[in-house]
């Protein structure tokens, strides 16, 4: 049974693979024997890679491309194919959100929310995934195999609860509204996953999504964490290491009968 979870010798692409979750996904896949191509907007020097991926740098390479730039995606994917062959795994992980510490208008009330932030987030989180699927998934379909994993969020399934952020206005005196764009982009991914999962089923390319809950990280306000954790049945945020297993599962033959699905990994947040 454990062989079913193997990704030994497979070729994986992880977009945004130098970020918090992406780094973990690359570690998991490389430690399980895959060769991993990171698509990143910026290059990374050897010291950075060695620090992030001790003992795994031989299996991990960075390719410079934004997920919003189709020409760059075509170019780097040609390079990956020439180096390692047609990829078996694509993890659409790159994503952006409005920053709680960003300019006030990023978190302004919906009625006056600037379109430029909507455009940026939709372009990266939704159009970027579509382009990566088009460029990499088409090559997988031609090879008649592959697994695409889209990285979603609980906010693709349920709306952000504005009560979690109400302390900000009380504290700062400025309205703070968790914006619409991220939630809309991640919910769009759920049906993009169903669309492509069914579209490519005859070509044996599986497409699934994971709706992740919040991961522990530095920098959250205590008021936010207390309010958030009160709504998580497991009473805690995830540790990033806890997210690798489901990636390996969906990347490998252990999930061979799954496509078009939304796998929820959220400590029970959306079960309440
Ligand atoms: N951190 C969480 O709690 C959490 C929860 C649920 C879902 N997610 C999702 O997980 C994914 C990773 O999030 P994270 O928390 O690791 O964020 P992060 O900011 O640490 O990592 C995101 C990475 O994507 C890269 N990126 C952004 N735009 C890009 C582009 N146009 N082209 C290529 N790369 C680009 C960034 O440079 C960064 O390295 C995102 O899709 C996010 O929505 C995160």
Q: List, for residues 202-260, the tens digit of each pLDDT value.
A: 999 999 999 999 999 999 999 999 999 999 999 999 999 999 999 999 999 999 999 99
Q: What percent of the chain has pLDDT over 90?
A: 96
Is the predicted pLDDT of residue 1 greater than 90, yes or no? no
pLDDT average, residue stretch 81-88: 98
Compute the distance from residue 9 Cα to the ligand 1 centre, in Å: 26
| Residue with CA at minimum distance from ligand 1 atom 8 | 153
pLDDT tier at 192, thresholds 50, 70, 90: very high
Is the predicted pLDDT of residue 91 greater than 60, yes or no? yes
pLDDT average, residue stretch 17-37: 98
Mapped onto helix, strand or coil, the DSSP state of residue 240 is helix
Is the predicted pLDDT of residue 199 greater than 70, yes or no? yes
Could you give the CA distance from residue 252 to residue 173 in angstroms, rounded to a whole number?
Answer: 50
* Each residue's pLDDT tens digit, 94-137: 999 998 888 889 999 999 999 999 999 999 999 999 999 999 99
Compute the distance from residue 127 Cα to the ligand 1 centre, in Å: 15
Using alpha carbons, select from 18, 164, 170, 181 the residue that is nearest to residue 91. Answer: 18
Q: Are 140 and 205 in contact (CB under 8 A)?
A: yes
Ligand 1 site, CB within 6 A: 15-16, 18-22, 39-41, 66-68, 93-96, 124, 128, 151, 153, 212, 214-215
| Residue with CA at minimum distance from ligand 1 atom 43 | 95
> In the chain, which residue ranges form alpha helices assigned H by DSSP?
20-31, 46-52, 70-84, 115-122, 128-132, 138-143, 166-172, 180-199, 222-229, 244-251
| Residue with CA at minimum distance from ligand 1 atom 40 | 95
DSSP bridge partners of 60 = 36
pLDDT average, residue stretch 1-24: 95
- Is pTM beyond 0.85? Reply is yes
Which residue in the block uniquely carries the two structure tokens 């950075």? 48
Could you give the CA distance from residue 185 to residue 95 in angstroms, rounded to a whole number?
Answer: 10
Is the predicted pLDDT of residue 266 greater than 80, yes or no? yes
| CB neighbours of residue 139 within 10 Å | 18
Q: Are 151 and 265 in contact (CB under 8 A)?
A: no
Q: Tell the burial category of 239 from Cβ atoms under 10 Å away from its Cβ (0-12, 13-18, 19+).
A: exposed
Instruction: Quote the mean pLDDT of the chain.
Output: 97
Nearest ligand 1 atom to the CA of 92 is 41
Q: What percent of the chain has pLDDT over 70?
A: 99
């Amino acid at each position: 049974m454990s062989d079913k979870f193997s990704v030994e010798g497979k070729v994986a692409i992880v977009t945004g693979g130098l970020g918090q979750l992406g780094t973990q996904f690359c570690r998991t896949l490389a430690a399980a024997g895959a060769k991993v191509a990171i698509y990143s907007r910026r290059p990374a020097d050897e010291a950075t890679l060695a620090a992030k991926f001790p003992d795994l740098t031989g299996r991990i390479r960075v390719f410079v491309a934004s997920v919003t730039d189709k020409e760059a995606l075509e170019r780097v994917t040609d390079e990956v194919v020439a180096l390692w062959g047609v990829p078996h795994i694509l993890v659409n992980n790159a994503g952006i959100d409005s920053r709680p510490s960003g300019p006030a208008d990023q978190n302004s009330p919906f009625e006056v929310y600037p379109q430029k932030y909507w455009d940026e987030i939709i372009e990266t989180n939704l159009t970027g995934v579509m382009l990566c699927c088009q460029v990499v998934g088409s090559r997988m379909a031609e090879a008649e195999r592959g697994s695409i994993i889209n990285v979603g969020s609980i906010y693709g399934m349920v709306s952000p609860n504005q009560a979690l952020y109400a302390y900000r206005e009380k504290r700062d005196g400025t309205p703070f509204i968790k914006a619409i764009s991220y939630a809309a982009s991640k919910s769009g991914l759920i049906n993009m996953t169903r669309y492509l999962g069914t579209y490519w089923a005859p070509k044996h390319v599986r497409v699934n999504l994971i709706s992740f809950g919040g991961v522990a990280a530095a920098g959250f306000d205590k008021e936010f964490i207390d309010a958030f954790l009160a709504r998580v049945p497991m009473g805690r945020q995830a540790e990033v290491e806890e997210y690798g297993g489901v990636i390996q599962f969906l990347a490998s033959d252990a999930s061979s009968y799954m496509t078009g699905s939304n796998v929820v990994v959220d400590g029970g947040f959306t079960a309440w």
